[in-house]
Amino acid sequence: MSRYVLITPNGDFERLVRLAIAGMHGSLQVFQSNHLPDGPGDVLRQMVGEPPEVLILGPGISVDGSLKLASVVDLQYPEISVILAAPSTPETVLQAMRAGVRDLLDPGADPDTIRVMLERASLAAAGRRRGLAPQASEHMDKSAPGRVIAVMSPKGGVGKTTVATNLAVGLGKAAPMSVVIVDLDLQFGDVASGLLLEPEFTITDAVIGAASQDSMVLKTYLTVHPAGIYALCAPRSP
């Protein structure tokens, strides 16, 4: 389960974040304040259990102060991803990059956009944790085996994609962010078009290099769908 912390006095933004996380397997702790803590340790001391994976600095607090806090988090707690909700200007983007901010979020973004960004930040946090403590991560990966469901037919045009995509979305409702649909029709696969996705990476990228040897790296090659599932799509060209 992913763990998120939000700091903001803005009730509307908090509502959007709660709607986004409602479709995910995660928990949210909110600090309704327009003043930032002196450091990340002040936030962590108020939490119960494990530290968060993602820290969201919402609207209503100083952007300069948020950037300073983000730089300290990046230095002291590199396994925590920071998301800053602020208007995206060239100056802010540059400062955020220097401070180690994972993503800039439009304060008026819809819940689906927020959900995708949070999941991307969670993946980054998981990758960093793996690098910091590889043995613990490997043990965790092996302790929870998954289940594979194959949808296939000896001929085309019989509805494999329709069945597979609807099955994935249905399973995603029961287990948000725990389902991956893999398109193994390497010549004419159309899972991407069926789910209205424009994947940055396809199965071609996933079977070469580090992704073929490391499950956490592989996860970063998956495309997040607003329905709360991942997709590994077929190559763009046969």
Residue 136: is its pLDDT beyond 80? no
The alpha carbon torsion through 51, 66, 57, 130 (nearest 10 deg) reads: -40
Record the tokens describing residue 111, joined without a space.
């819940």
Place of tokens 């992704």: 211
DSSP 176: T
CA pair distance 98, 119, nearest whole angstrom:
22
pLDDT at 137 > cutoff 60: no
CA atoms within 13 A on the CB side of 100: 19
Provide mean pLDDT across the span 140-144: 49
Token duo for residue 120: 């991307």
Query: 54-57 and 81-85: which strand pairing?
Result: parallel
Specify the 3-state DSSP secondary structure of 104.
strand
81-85/180-182 β-pairing: unpaired
85 φ/ψ sector (left φ>0, alpha ψ -120 to 50, else beta) = beta
Rounded mean pLDDT of 151-161? 90
Confidence at residue 6, expressed as pLDDT on a 0 to 100 scale: 92
Instruction: Give the integer Cα–Cα distance in Å for 222 and 205.
Output: 10
Q: In what order do the strands lie in the sheet with 54-57?
A: 26-31, 2-7, 54-57, 81-85, 103-105
> How does pLDDT run across 41-96, given as a tens digit for each residue?
888 887 766 778 899 999 999 999 999 999 999 888 888 999 999 998 889 999 99
pLDDT in the model for residue 49: 67
Order of strands across the sheet that contains 229-232: 180-182, 229-232, 223-225
User: Which 3-state string (H, E, C) describes 105-151?
Assistant: ECCCCCHHHHHHHHHHHHHHHHHHHHHHCHHHHHHHHHCCCCCCCCC
Asked whether the predicted pLDDT for residue 144 surpasses 60, the reply is no
195-223, pLDDT tens digit by residue? Answer: 999 998 899 888 887 777 777 778 878 88
Q: Can you tell me the distance from the alpha carbon of 109 to that of 115, in angstroms, rounded to the nearest whole number? A: 10
Class of domain 2-132: alpha beta
The separation between the first and the last C-alpha atoms of the chain, rounded to the nearest angstrom, is: 37
C-alpha 182: how far from its chain's center?
A: 18
Per-residue model confidence (pLDDT) at position 139: 44
Question: What ranges do the domains of the chain cover?
Answer: 2-132, 146-232
- Indicate the range of 38-42, 79-83, 105-109, 170-174 predicted with least confidence: 38-42
